[in-house]
Amino acid sequence: MGLAEQADKLIEWGNTATEGAFGLLKGHQEGKQAQQQQDHEMRMGSFNEFLRERQHSRTMELVRLASSKGVKTAAIRAGLDVVTTSVNALAADIVNQREYERNRKLISASQQAAEDLEWHRALVQVALHDALRTRELELANSPFSHTPEAVREHVVEATGDGRKPVLLIAPFYHEGAVTADNGPRFVVAVRQAWLTSHWHGDLEPMAGLIDRPLHRLDVDVRTVQQVLHDLPVVLVYGQAQEGGRIWPSLAAWNILPGTDCTSLHMNFPPMPLTAAGDPAEAQDIGDRLGRMFSLAAGNLGDWFHLLRHERAPRMHILLAAGEDSERALASTSAADSYDFLAATGRLDTHLAYAHQARILAEGGLTDLARRMARTALAELASLPLDDGTRHLAALRELLGVFGLLGDVQYTAEAEALREAAAQRRLDQLHGWEGRR
């Protein structure tokens, strides 16, 4: 056999042996394609080491075989070059195949991510459209002139975060009107009546926050209450019934802090409206509505400031001369507020009686005030002196009430009881109780 033939045989044998070995290796590599890139790099390192070891082993075998067959070095080198080329080609093929698979998976993942992004973007657009549509409907149906958030911000700022109530004035709703502008709205009349009252500082008027009649009636009132649910609010509004009748109403909430009454609703007696188009009659009704709402809101303001800030009621003494019936009504309501303070333990009972007697006397209800003051003094006089010292404030208040009523006899009795209680208190403070 010639040298060329021997070299061909060696090459054929080397190729066969190498392909068999690398066939097993390739199968092993394909079974591990799902592992992470770091594992791939480690396997490729091991694979290269395996190639070097295998190449060295085959080289030694070829050398020994060539020596035994008398093959020259040139033929051996040629065979080894063929083997090396085959090994490198196979390794490159494995690497390229693995890189292709990895890139394919990355492209597939990118395409899926892009599809998911488009899907979520479409969902967001649909949700945004629905939210905007809902918002537009809410604003279109809202009784407010601003968004609910802006309305709340205005009220919080104007009232010092609820340190005093807000007075909201809604235009009156005229049943059967073609448009909301038909018929007198009475907003100006009510607002001016409040601003010209002597107690206008007790509530913060914000006419204009509600810029349309509450034609949805209870639903609209509920909407206003939901937006301002945790703030003290007095809302005045009304409806004009077909046939010529005005129904004034007032709703309030968070006006009586510390009580179980979280909200209240008052419907006032109706007023006749014989000619809706008569400016004189509309002006007269507006003045009467303004006066009525001003008194009602002022009375609620007295309650709020007494229960919240312990400020004595004052509307009954701020009324003008000649308004005796209004003064009597206001003083009676203000006196009732002290019953709550006494019942809840926030104020001594006898001191509450003394305050009530003073308010009734200031309101012109002298007989009722005198009876209440005398009853309170008799109860204080029946107490042991040690107990009486705890009621010096009530005795001092009763002295003022009897002086206001011009009751000389009970003024003297109250003064004597006050002096005895004060002396007893002084003895207790200085430890002189057993020396007198």
Q: Is the pLDDT of residue 7 over 50?
A: no
**Beta-sheet pairing, 263-267 with 245-253:** antiparallel
Beta carbons of 250 and 266 less than 8 angstroms apart: yes
pLDDT class of 141 with cuts at 50, 70, 90:
confident
Note the pLDDT of residue 324. Answer: 93
Note the pLDDT of residue 11. Answer: 46
**Residue 317, CA distances (Å) to 57, 157, 163, 314, 330 in order:** 119, 30, 23, 6, 9
Between 120-124, 198-202, 377-381, 415-419, the lowest mean confidence (pLDDT) is in: 120-124
Work out the number of other CB atoms within 10 angstroms of the CB of residue 213. Answer: 26
pLDDT class of 40 with cuts at 50, 70, 90:
low
Top-confidence range, 37-46, 98-107, 269-278, 366-375: 366-375
Continuous H helices in 344-407: 349-362, 366-381, 385-388, 392-405
Top-confidence range, 54-68, 174-188, 311-325: 311-325
CA–CA distance, 237 with 186 (Å, rounded to integer): 9
Mean confidence (pLDDT) of the chain? 80
* Count of CA atoms in the C-beta half-sphere (13 A) of 60: 5
Q: What pLDDT, in 10s, does the model give residues 208-237? A: 999 999 998 899 999 999 999 999 999 999
Beta carbons of 286 and 298 less than 8 angstroms apart: no
Top-confidence range, 56-65, 238-247, 304-313, 413-422: 304-313
Work out the number of other CB atoms within 10 angstroms of the CB of residue 279. Answer: 9
Note the pLDDT of residue 251. Answer: 97
Q: Is the pLDDT of residue 204 over 50?
A: yes
Contacts of residue 220, defined as CB under 8 A and 6 or more positions apart, other chains included, come to 143, 170, 214
Question: Comparing C-alpha atoms, which of 297, 291, 327, 282 is closest to residue 193?
Answer: 291
Contacts of residue 264, defined as CB under 8 A and 6 or more positions apart, other chains included, come to 251, 252, 253, 255, 256
Question: Comparing C-alpha atoms, which of 293, 289, 280 is closest to residue 186?
Answer: 289
Q: Is the pLDDT of residue 239 over 60?
A: yes
Question: Comparing C-alpha atoms, which of 425, 403, 427 is closest to residue 414?
Answer: 403
Note the pLDDT of residue 123. Answer: 79
Across residues 63-92, what is the average pLDDT? 56
CA–CA distance, 32 with 433 (Å, rounded to integer): 103
Q: Is the pLDDT of residue 275 over 90?
A: no
**Domain range summary for the chain, segments of one domain joined by +:** 119-289, 312-435
Note the pLDDT of residue 110. Answer: 75
Q: Is the pLDDT of residue 333 over 90?
A: yes
**Beta-sheet pairing, 233-241 with 173-174:** parallel
